[in-house]
Structure 1
Amino acid sequence: MALDLKFGLSSTGLLVPTYEEILDTIQTDWQRRWGPQTPMTGNSNFGMLSMSFSFELSKYYQQLQMVYYSAYVTTATGTGLDRLAANASITRDADSQSEATLHIVTDGEYLIEAGTQFETDNGVVFDTEDDVISTQQTDKSWSADVIADSDDYGSYTNVPANTITIVSDPDDNILSVTNPELSNGGTDEETDDHLRRRIIMETVANPSATINGIKTALLNVAGVREVNDVQNPYDSIDQYGNPPYTVHLYVLGGAKSDILAALAKYSGYGPLFTGSETGQVADITGDMKTYYFDYATPVPIYVNVSLKTNANWDSESGTDEVKQLIAEYINGLEMGANVVLTKMYPDIYSLDGVDEAKITIGRSMQTLADHDIQVDKFEAPEGSADWINVGDPYTPLLTNSVSTPNSITLSFS
């Protein structure tokens, strides 16, 4: 069957017709062949056949479009993106465990066996990696430090400092336990967006001793979502307090030991690093060298959304959709990117039933305002539905008080 519709590859890309365009072309063609009086209504034989053919053809064209887009890093998704990553010797990161350093106080000298479990109040369990014997400290107490990994996988296993305080199986010989620093390294399975950025970064610079090369190497560390740097090429301390001629790397996610290992492998005799996170790694000769970096500072972004809605508003799912759209925008920002208030509006107004919207944002619910949030190079904006409020009139939309059953916010300015 020959269609008059133009489709396929052209100088502007792949043209894919819609179902409505296919249906119109088929029905026009049939009426030209069998006469203009040929019935094409939904309850006629010709009408039903044309709709069935058009539906199947539209699915075929959609598959062609997916195949076309899967050839490019910027548009490929899922396994198609995985195959493009493999061309650059990159694989998608699986979800991973969190790693914590535990400080354990015992009643005298005591062997803490590998696999001993400790946990947080909300049930995140950690297992010690190795056997360790507590030793006596200068204050006559007995204690030991040991690395422990979370039982589960995912970003939720990253817990704040001093929260791993429970001995899962009570032991009279263990007096207390805590994690002096936050645990890190726990990640969810890598998203398409992050994998895409890694592939692109790999084409910009392969892992090497250059700054871009080191950033690429760090992005390839399991759990690392972003890397940024502050360089101080001058002979004086910069505005952030960095020493002269140093590079301050900021890493979002990843286990400390893995990050230090990547720095040791790729930095060579390159940049002089600075930072508060530090550790020693043996080089190929066995000599221990010290490396420095810092974790990025997460910046929770709080949002209040006041809406005036109409009868088309879905009261059951609308609020959740608003929260999801805003959280996705914030979490899609790169480290150091400012949170631009006006970029949130198009998604909100795209929802059916929204007449008016007023959004305020801030680093806390007490500092909400209608202006952008400026972010430093070492800060990473983070969004969560828990930090987004929809409905309460923190900022009215209209001067007059309005009463309408289809409004979330009843007072607008």
Structure 2
Amino acid sequence: MYDYLIIGGGIVGLSTCYSLIQKYPQAKIAVIEKESTLAFHQTGHNSGVIHSGIYYKPGSLKANLSKEGGELLRAFCDRHHIPYEMCGKVIVATEQEELPLLNRLYTRALENKLDVSMIDSGQLKEIEPHAYGIRAIHVKAAGIVKYKSVAEALAKVIREQGGDIHLSTKVENIVEGPDRIQVECSAQTFHTRYLINCAGLHCDRIAANQGLKPGMKIVPFRGEYYELTPEKHHLVKHLIYPVPNPNFPFLGVHFTRMIDGHVHAGPNAVLSFKREGYRKSDFNFKDFTEVMMYPAFWKIARQNIGEGWKEMARSWSKKVFVRSLQRLIPEIREDDLVKSENGVRAQALTKDGKLVDDFMIVSNPRSIHILNAPSPAATASLAIGRTICERIPEPVH
């Protein structure tokens, strides 16, 4: 019998387990993960950015937890000798029409008490010599790290401090009894007093399996990346982002210097026909029909049809993808880019046709479910873990 059983071995699930063990060292705690390795999906396909929280509404969970989480993450990396770099980033306006949006974003950054500065084109050239922009926000509290390394370090601490991690263990059924929850898995059956759902791309299905009706569904969006050839790495010194469209939930294609020296370009964002569909050819009938039969999807699709077509064009045409990148670095050419690994974002969509903008955490007396934790969840993961600890009951012995 476990005091706490966590479903999902990504960075959010591992951070939650880590926080619980720190708070309740005598508790019996386990993480179960359906894959044979930890951090296999969203964590393992993450861009590696340590986000500042600049984009998020002041007072929201994303704004608060990304800032707190970034501080906790850096401290954890220092303790466990995980390489990271607070390289900073620039958010660049390339057209006059973008300046009001840039100014609004700058105001939000100040409201979130972030260390930012508005810079002109000359100052931008000093930071990013190859970038083009008429004005930009310089965000100092942004960095890079390999989140899979963080997840591995979390798992090491969990095991050392007595926590259990069960791999290749897929949840098949959940039965709630009078004094325990029974979780029937492919490998074995577990019993727990309290259940924590950090299942990412499958979190809505885990919630439904327990009988919850949270009024949302996960819609998977594939993010497709290129990376610069080694001889073109010098074109990007830090992180270079466009001004995001406030009516579209994605940040637009951008340049990210990785901790290993590679430079990624992207991602675009297109509907995936499989929840774990990293390739264009990936298809799962159940995943596909769930989205197609969900009326809320068609509502959001109609609202974003223009941006949606642009994303699909970038997906199918390298030339169109490159044109988007050339807005930020004009000298980029098609030959400078090679395909890189893609990722899939688990985005919650409510039944009234709205993409959930903030982290979504739903609880009942015996369980808690993290139902929307896309970017910046990796940055915020340790703070999310602390927040979950604060919301659940103490172990009973």
**Smaller-chain TM-score bracket:** under 0.3
TM-score by length of 1: 0.24
The structure with the largest alpha-carbon Rg is 1
Normalised by the length of structure 2, the TM-score is 0.24
Larger helix percent: 2
